[in-house]
Every structure is written in structure tokens, then in C-alpha cells.
Amino acid sequence: MAWDSSRPVPWQRLVRDWLVYVGIMAVLFALVFRDSFTGAVAGLLLSGPLYLGFGYVLAKFGYTRKTMKELRSERSTVSSSSETNSSSSESSDRPRSRPAPTSRTSTGRGRPGTKSNRSKR
């Protein structure tokens, strides 16, 4: 998609997602980097403008992530359609047949193409 300056930017969602990320990472950094926690916090604070900037650019190009509600409704429609498809096909009830043997499958004699020691005498 092309850049469109009239596309809206979901600032509230971007800031909320970044705050959730900062909260989780601050707890993890507090546990891991006990001595140099200030550097980790500075890095987290610098990540904010970067995240918001990338989110702005992606929104202007037309990228929008699906919400959890959209993902759940999509999953429920896919599962309901797969249930109707599986009930109509009877081939899924029987077990799969064995595939045909190939040159790479074992025949039980060892490696193919090798001669036994008796033939060399």
C-alpha cells in the first residue's frame, strides 16, 4: 500500500501496547539486572519514541493489527466451518494407508547397493 497522510493513527492503542511492554520488561530487568537497573530503564524509555514512530509510519502505510475480538471471531468461524467439512467427509474417519516404499526406505537388509562379505570371496 502507498503512504496516505489521511489514514488515522491509533495513538491510544500504540501507547497502551508500549506501556504493557515496558511494564513486563521492567519487571524482568529488575529481576535480571539488579545492579545496573538504571541502564535498563533508560533503554526502555528510549524504546517509546522508536515504537511510536514505527507505529506511526506503519499506520500511514495502512497496517493495522487485528484486535483480540477479531481474532476470536475469526477462529470461531474457521472452527465451525471445519466441523461441517469434517462431518461431511467420511475419509477422515478411516486410518491413513501406508505410503509406497521408495529407494530411501529400509527393506530390512541393511544399506541398499552394498554387497555382502560372502560375495567378495
Hey, where are the domains in the chain? Answer: 1-64
Q: Which long-range contacts (CB under 8 A, 24 or more apart) does 48-52 make?
A: 48/18, 48/22, 51/14, 51/17, 51/18, 51/21, 52/11, 52/14, 52/15, 52/18
pLDDT of 87 reads 52
pLDDT of 66 reads 86
**Tens-binned pLDDT, residue by residue, of the chain (121 aa):** 788 889 999 999 999 999 999 999 999 999 988 888 888 899 999 999 999 999 999 999 999 888 889 889 988 888 777 666 555 555 567 788 888 888 787 666 656 566 666 665 5
pLDDT of 119 reads 60
User: Rounded to whole angstroms, how far apart are CA atoms 27 and 112?
Assistant: 58
Length of the chain: 121
Per the CB < 8 A criterion, the answer to whether 57 and 2 are in contact is: no
Per the CB < 8 A criterion, the answer to whether 57 and 14 are in contact is: no
pLDDT of 83 reads 63
Burial group, residue 93, by CB count within 10 angstroms (0-12, 13-18, 19+)? exposed
Burial group, residue 55, by CB count within 10 angstroms (0-12, 13-18, 19+)? buried
User: Rounded to whole angstroms, how far apart are CA atoms 26 and 47?
Assistant: 12
